[in-house]
């Protein structure tokens, strides 16, 4: 058996690492491509604001724990949920 040259091993490793770059998760908005995560994040921030309004109207905002932790977690939750539902 011939020993594998370093250049062949590097090329093979590079090909294996770049297989995930075949499709960029972008969407077309008015002729410009935006990353999908930006759209998910913007909608998630709006949904978290709706959750806050809902909790304030029901006078339950004091029941959710530390607000500085709750609202960023709700943004992350909504962002991940939308990514999984619509783009995976």
Q: How do residues 48-74 score in pLDDT, each as one tens digit?
A: 999 999 999 999 999 998 999 999 999
- Give the whole-angstrom CA distance, residue 34 versus residue 32: 6
Q: How do residues 14-41 score in pLDDT, each as one tens digit?
A: 766 766 655 666 766 677 677 788 889 9
The model's pTM is 0.66
35 touches 26 (CB < 8 A) = yes
Distant-in-sequence, close-in-space partners of 44: CB < 8 Å, separation ≥ 6: 74, 75, 76, 77, 78, 79, 82
- Give the whole-angstrom CA distance, residue 42 versus residue 86: 15
């Amino acid at each position: 058996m011939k020993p594998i040259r370093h250049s062949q091993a590097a090329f093979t490793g590079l090909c294996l690492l770049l297989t995930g770059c075949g499709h960029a998760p972008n969407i077309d908005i008015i002729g410009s491509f935006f990353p999908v995560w930006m759209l998910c994040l913007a909608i998630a921030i709006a949904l978290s604001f709706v959750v806050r309004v809902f909790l304030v109207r029901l006078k339950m905002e004091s029941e959710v724990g530390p607000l500085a932790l709750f609202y960023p977690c709700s943004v992350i939750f909504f962002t991940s949920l939308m990514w999984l539902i619509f783009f995976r």
